[in-house]
């Protein structure tokens, strides 16, 4: 469904992020869920820094995006928002109670089991690359990621989706696994690579991704170019 300024649902997103974050900011997960269930939504774009101001912290106490507003309801945390969308609108949840819970267990597995080591890798290789503890941590982080990927691959096997049919659990699993797509980790497990490709080829995902990318019309904050130059210099020293 298209982004509509007057839609009943409003989400927040950034108007600018570094190139490496484009297509990965977590409002994409919410957009994808809304596309899957056929709901229009409006977007309130924030400049970098506005997410830390009091007006936004009233909606999101940790100063992050996305948020979700519909009438008197305000939510934060992409997992909670996507779960709500799946419960509120048909299309992402099975009708059988047991199957619904199994779908949710994969949503939680994506966020609690797979995403933490994946994000640890991003933190030490990007945001903390200049710190002395960064390089020594990487082997352990990579080992944990590979273990989790092996376990996920073993469970998926030859199936198309973790829950038999595409559900909210698969939406979140694909969203998390694609963070490391192209880095040589997912590609080690052909069934996971095919699983991610299957999800991201869906029209609903493609519409969500296009909408997020179209929203990046802002400018970097002061000092970003200097920070990026320092980061690139640090990465050059450690490769």
> Are domains 9-91+205-218 and 97-201 of this chain identical in fold?
no
Average pLDDT over residues 33-54: 96
CA 97 from chain centre, in angstroms, equals 26
Percent residues over pLDDT 90 in the chain: 76
| Per-residue model confidence (pLDDT) at position 230 | 55
In the numeric block, which tokens belong to residue 211? 């909408």
Length of the chain: 239
Mean pLDDT of the chain: 91
Report whether pLDDT(140) > 50: yes
Q: How confident is the model at residue 232 (pLDDT cuts 50, 70, 90)?
A: low
CA-nearest of 170, 11, 179, 161 to 81 is 11
Contact 174, 200 (CB under 8 A): yes
The third-level CATH classification (topology) of the domain covering 97-201 is Glutathione S-transferase Yfyf (Class Pi); Chain A, domain 2 (1.20.1050)
Superfamily of segment(s) 9-91+205-218:
Glutaredoxin (3.40.30.10)
Share of the chain above pLDDT 70, in %: 92
Structure tokens at 42: 């409006």
Say if CB 32 and CB 205 are below 8 A apart.
yes
Which pTM was predicted?
A: 0.91
Close Cβ partners of 222 (under 8 Å, ≥ 6 residues apart): none
Q: Given pLDDT bands bounded at 50, 70 and 90, which one contains residue 238?
A: very low
Residue range 14-42: mean pLDDT, rounded? 96
Give residue limits of the domains in the chain.
Answer: 9-91+205-218, 97-201
Q: Per residue in 157-216, pLDDT tens?
A: 999 999 899 999 999 999 999 999 988 899 999 999 999 999 999 999 999 999 999 999
């Amino acid at each position: 469904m298209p982004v509509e300024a007057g839609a009943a649902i409003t989400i927040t997103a950034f108007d600018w992020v570094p190139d490496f974050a484009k297509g990965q900011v977590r409002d994409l997960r919410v957009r994808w869920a809304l596309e899957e269930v056929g709901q229009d939504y409006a977007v309130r774009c924030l400049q970098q820094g506005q997410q830390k101001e009091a007006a936004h912290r009233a909606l999101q106490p940790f100063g992050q995006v996305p948020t979700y507003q519909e009438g008197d309801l305000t939510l934060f945390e992409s997992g909670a928002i996507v779960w709500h969308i799946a419960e509120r609108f048909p299309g992402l949840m099975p009708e059988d109670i047991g199957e619904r819970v199994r779908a949710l267990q994969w949503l939680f597995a994506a966020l609690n089991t797979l995403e933490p080591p994946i994000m640890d890798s991003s933190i030490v290789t990007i945001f903390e690359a200049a710190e002395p503890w960064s390089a020594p941590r990487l082997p352990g982080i990579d080992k944990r990621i590979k273990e989790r990927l092996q376990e996920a691959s073993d469970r998926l096997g030859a199936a198309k989706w973790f829950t038999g049919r595409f559900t909210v659990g698969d939406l979140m699993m694909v969203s998390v696994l694609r963070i490391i797509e192209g880095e040589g980790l997912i590609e080690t497990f052909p069934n996971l690579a095919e699983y991610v490709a299957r999800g991201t080829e869906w029209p609903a995902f493609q519409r969500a991704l296009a909408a997020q990318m179209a929203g990046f019309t802002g400018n970097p904050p002061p000092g970003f170019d200097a920070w990026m130059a320092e980061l690139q210099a640090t990465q050059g020293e450690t490769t």
